[in-house]
Amino acid sequence: MFPYFTLADIDYRTLPQIFDSGLSTAGSKAPFLGHRPVESQQPLKFANHYVWQTWGEIDTRRRNIGSALEGLFRSGAAVGTNGLDTVGIWSANIPGALSPPHLQILVISGNHIVPLIAA
């Protein structure tokens, strides 16, 4: 289905470039991330089918989060003292991971960690 390739064949240097390549190859309506819904907790049983999120839906979510983070930095709400601010995004590996209560966004500045969004 897909030809074999090596890293020398790839001209991508960032994760956004890799994602954008997948989006343009698959198309915005193609399935991207899937999960099997839980049918019961006792005993734990999962459905025999997957529920899919499309490339376009995930693209919208990643752009919204990136835009919000950029806005926090531009407004000064996420500015640290050392000039080398870093944003860490921690989330569970589940379908709703990019939304509260599963998402935590922290600004790491020097020896300080400041939650911007926390569960």
Q: Indicate whether this model's pTM tops 0.75.
A: no
In a domain, 2, yes or no: no
Residue 103 sits in which domain range? 7-117
* 103-109 and 112-117 strand pairing: antiparallel
Cα separation, 55 vs 57, whole angstroms: 6
In a domain, 92, yes or no: yes
Q: Residue-wise pLDDT tens for the chain (119 aa)?
A: 566 767 677 787 788 888 899 999 999 999 998 999 999 999 999 999 999 999 999 999 888 888 887 787 777 766 655 565 666 676 677 776 666 666 666 665 555 555 655 54
CB contact burial 47-68 (16+ within 10 A = b; e otherwise): eeeeeeebbeebbeeeeebeee
In a domain, 19, yes or no: yes
Look at the chain and report how many structural domains it folds into: 1
